[in-house]
Amino acid sequence: MLAGFVKALPRVRFLVFDTDATLYPPKYLALTAQYPITSLSIWDLSIFPSWSSLFDFIWAFPYLANLRIGSHIDGLPGEGTEEPLSILKASRLSAIANRGRCRQLRTLHLEASLDIWFLCPAFPPKGVFGCSLESLTLRVGERASSIETLGSRFADPFCHLFQMPTLRTVEIAIVPKRLGLPSRILGRHTQSQALQVHKDMAEKLSNIVRLMRLSRCEVRELRIRFKLLPTRDGGVPLHFHHTYLFQQYFGSGLQEAVESLNSALSLQQLRICLPLNGLPPPCDTAAWWESQLRAHLTRLKVNVSVNLFRMYPSLDPDDSLPSTWYCHRHAGWVTLEMCSAACFAVPILKPGNPLA
């Protein structure tokens, strides 16, 4: 039957693989590989019985140019049935990859990159994604926010990605976890929790940029994307206030790290991508944010630009989900009815302030 599909749909280029690979014998996967697939998305790694089967599947597509891995983590390949990905197994995969795997791969989205690494420090094996990447996306996510340090253990498996001479764009997506609290609880305790999570994630962001510099990364554009999930249920997303943006994420640590990349004469553009949901005018324009950021990022000589995007537009066609931004002035989520540009004035923080 699948062979008939291959003949009937000869121009299929994009494949989303989100089913248990063990349900199909190898011959079916081999037939799937006959499609001239150029873009592949694998949502959950646990659907593969082993790390070898995962990479064998990826390597089966010789024209693959765009790969997205791990949009969510329900487990790792072979979890519970085989040994974890060890350094020895990773070396074997690297040896196979050196035979010319992923030659056409140019764009790699490691959607749960640090989450995967937190569970499996040998990920990713060197060379498994080829050696010609032009664009790389990493994510600082839920488990990553609890990592105490990003030292040599992280640098060993990831630095080879940064060292690719073809790499021109790196995007770091900040995806904070939700607070497991009822929506009515928006007091000082919640603010304190949110602040600590943002501090942790800001530190990881700065460390990744420092690692890029230590790896002599020749990237031209660095993108930092803040992805915050609106919710319809009783839980609240992690508080995200513009003060966190200026005081935590774009504090002196990140400025120093970004400037070190710029000093190597490679980095030309710092692009900040912010969620548009709920922003009042004139804060709903990129120009407004660019002026605010330039006034704050005084140490940077690199060009700074802002992109605004709508979070999950397909889930919120009528704009009914709560804002992704929180307003401390009104002690609630930002709304067009209550909030204005005055709510986004960058305050001078004092000792004892819950945001300090």
CB-based contact 301:320 (threshold 8 Å): no
The phi and psi torsions of 303 (rounded to 5 degrees) equal: -70, 130
CA distance linking residue 356 with residue 352, whole number of Å: 7
Cα torsion angle, 269, 270, 274, 276, sign: negative
C-alpha to C-alpha distances, 150 to 142, 164, 258, 295, nearest whole angstrom: 15, 21, 17, 30
Q: Given this model, what pLDDT does residue 258 score?
A: 86
Q: Given this model, what pLDDT does residue 329 score?
A: 83
Assigned token pair, 106: 């140019």
Q: Given this model, what pLDDT does residue 74 score?
A: 62
Q: Which 3-state string (H, E, C) describes 257-273? A: HHHHHHHCCCCCEEEEE
Helix 87-97 and helix 51-59: axis angle, to 10°?
10
Nearest one of 166, 176, 136 to 275, comparing CA atoms: 176
CB-based contact 48:77 (threshold 8 Å): yes
Q: Given this model, what pLDDT does residue 186 score?
A: 45
pLDDT (tens place) for every residue of the chain, 356 residues total: 555 655 666 777 888 877 766 666 667 767 777 778 899 998 878 788 888 888 988 998 999 999 998 755 666 787 666 667 888 888 899 999 888 899 999 999 987 655 666 667 778 888 999 999 999 998 876 554 444 444 445 556 678 889 899 999 999 988 766 544 444 444 444 667 777 778 888 888 888 888 888 888 889 999 999 876 544 444 455 667 788 788 888 887 888 888 877 776 678 899 999 988 778 889 999 999 999 888 888 878 888 999 998 876 555 556 566 677 888 788 777 888 888 888 887 654 443 444 43
